[in-house]
Structure 1
């Protein structure tokens, strides 16, 4: 059995374009140190609150 975790990284809209509020690489590294495996990034740019959802998984400890 696996469990999943989702981390949202906000996207700031600027004149020059979009910018992530936090570096996604740092988030992935932090989660990996906690035993999570990166699965996928889901960009939600056209959402009312644009963001990047990072998906992580790990085996459930019994």
Structure 2
């Protein structure tokens, strides 16, 4: 765990990662280019915590997507990815 002190307070540092999944609109509604559950599980196995899904399907047709946001504590040393 990375902890540093400022004015007697303890702060834990985090890093963030965004996984993008394309969204396609069909007759039956919104279709994702891939399932999000395996993406969340894969990142969890690598130490990332799922924080939020941001629905950006209302953007222009080329940019439609959902963003999965992950965080983890920053580790010191050479094991940081």
Normalized against structure 1, the TM-score is what? 0.94
How many residue pairs end up in the alignment?
62
Asked whether 1:54 is paired with 2:72, we answer no
Greater Rg by CA: 2
1:12 equivalent to 2:24? Answer yes
Moved over 3 A (4+): none
Normalised to the residue count of structure 2, the TM-score between the two structures is 0.73
RCO higher in structure (CA 8 A, sep ≥6): 1
Structure 2 unaligned spans of 5+: 1-12, 77-81
